[in-house]
Amino acid sequence: MLVRVTHWITVISFIALLVTGVEILISHPRFYWGEVGNSRTPPLFKIPIPSSRATVPTGYGFVLPDQNGWSRYLHFEAAWALVLTGLVYVISGLWTRHFRKNLFPAPADRTWSVFRSVIAKHLRLAPPERADFRSYNVLQRVTYLLVIFVLVPLAIWTGLAMSSGFNAAMPWAVTSLGGRQSARTLHFFVSIFLVLFLFVHVAMVVLTGFATRMREMITGLAAVSEERT
């Protein structure tokens, strides 16, 4: 139950973070490495989109409307929702052994050959087996663990490392990343990986039966046909 509630709060927070993150990005679609970077310094790379600021040289003859006010408000509010929900999820997951039971690869699966065979099955587009409907395979488990314990913490860290107030208290958070602009660039790439995860995750849900999976994640009731097997 807690897994489902935290899942859906996370979904709402993540979508809010994504939309507002794009809005904030549009105000300066250039990325740099190191401590500083601005329209007068060479970028590491640019995103070829128009900007919401006239001061950014984009090559487009028009400027998009500025949406940063509410975007920044909502970005940080959603970040707080995600962090607090994530804390509840991780603490309860340790308490109820959710991670150990459902996400840490089973001892028999902790070998490269199992890993390879799961990947090979996916590459052959083999249809999922019965067992795959009841439990996660090793590839799914490793992916979920990476998202929960690596990518989301990295997104929080690189996000905080852009905060002047936070950096005043903990300068190592930004210096260890190579500077504030490096933190911003890393934040962007971590977000790209999280969006990739979202696409694959939703694609998997659709492939294994969108209606059934949604019903399970919302009500917690396993589909009847699966229960009988």
Partner 1 sequence: MSKISRRKFVTAGLAATAGVSGLAVAANLAKRYGLVPPDSGGIYGPGETLTYAGQRLLARNSLAREFPRSMISKIPFANEIPPLNESFKRLQGGGFANWRLVIDGMVARPASLSLADLKSFSVRSQITEVVCEEGWSYVAEWIGTPLFEVLRACEMLPEARYVVYFSIDPDWWDSIDMADAQHPQTLLAWAMNDGDLPVAFGGPLRLRVPRQLGYKSVKFVNRLMVTDSLKGFVSALDPKSPNFGYSWYAGI
Rule CB under 8 A: which residues touch partner 1?
24-25, 27-28, 30, 35-41, 53-56, 66, 68-70, 72-74, 76-81, 160, 162-169, 171, 174, 180-181, 184
Q: Check: CB of residue 38 under 8 Å from CB of residue 180.
A: no
End-to-end CA gap in the chain? 23
Task: Give the shortest CB-80-to-partner 1 separation in angstroms.
Answer: 5
Q: Which is nearer to partner 1, 175 or 212 (CB)?
A: 175
User: What are 29's two structure tokens?
Assistant: 């679609």
User: What is the smallest separation between the CB atom of 102 and partner 1, expressed in angstroms?
Assistant: 22
Two tokens, residue 59 = 């090559």
* CB nearer partner 1, residue 138 or residue 183: 183
Could you tell me the smallest distance in angstroms from the CB atom of residue 227 to partner 1? 21
- Sequence-separated (6 or more) residues with CB below 8 Å from residue 177: 157, 158, 161, 183, 186
Sign of CA dihedral 49, 21, 54, 57: negative
- Of 40 and 130, nearer to partner 1 (C-beta) is 40
Q: Residue 34 Cβ, how far from partner 1 at the closest point, in Å?
A: 9
> Please, which residue, 73 or 210, has the CB nearer to partner 1?
73
Q: Which tokens go with 126?
A: 């083999």
C-alpha to C-alpha distance for 167 and 124, rounded to whole angstroms: 48
Identify which of residues 1 and 125 has a Cβ nearer to partner 1 in the complex.
Answer: 1
Question: Minimum CB separation from partner 1 for residue 169, in Å?
Answer: 4
